């Protein structure tokens, strides 16, 4: 009987932990082929969660590309 009660207790705590993980308010960032695609609206949030990362910035228009 004690074994059954222990098993129920363990399973209920595991289920409760899984449900709490689903309710996390962490923003999801767009990912394409293993690379995060960041925009003005989510860049600061990403930096806050990932203080160390490698970033590549690009300009979609040649007019805004820096000249060497």
Joined tokens for residue 45: 């949030």
In the chain, where are the structural domains located? 25-68
Residue 20 binned pLDDT confidence (cut-offs 50, 70, 90): very low
| DSSP-derived 3-state class of residue 36 | strand
- pLDDT value at 13 more than 70: no
**Which tens digit of pLDDT belongs to each residue from 25-64?**
555 888 888 899 998 899 999 999 999 999 988 777 777 6
Token digits for 13?
């705590």
């Amino acid at each position: 009987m004690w074994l059954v009660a222990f098993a129920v207790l363990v399973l209920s705590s595991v289920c409760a932990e899984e449900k709490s993980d689903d309710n996390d308010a962490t923003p999801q960032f767009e990912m394409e082929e293993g690379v995060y695609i960041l925009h003005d609206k989510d860049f600061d949030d990403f930096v806050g969660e990932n203080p160390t990362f490698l970033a590549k910035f690009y300009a979609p228009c040649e007019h805004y590309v820096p000249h060497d």
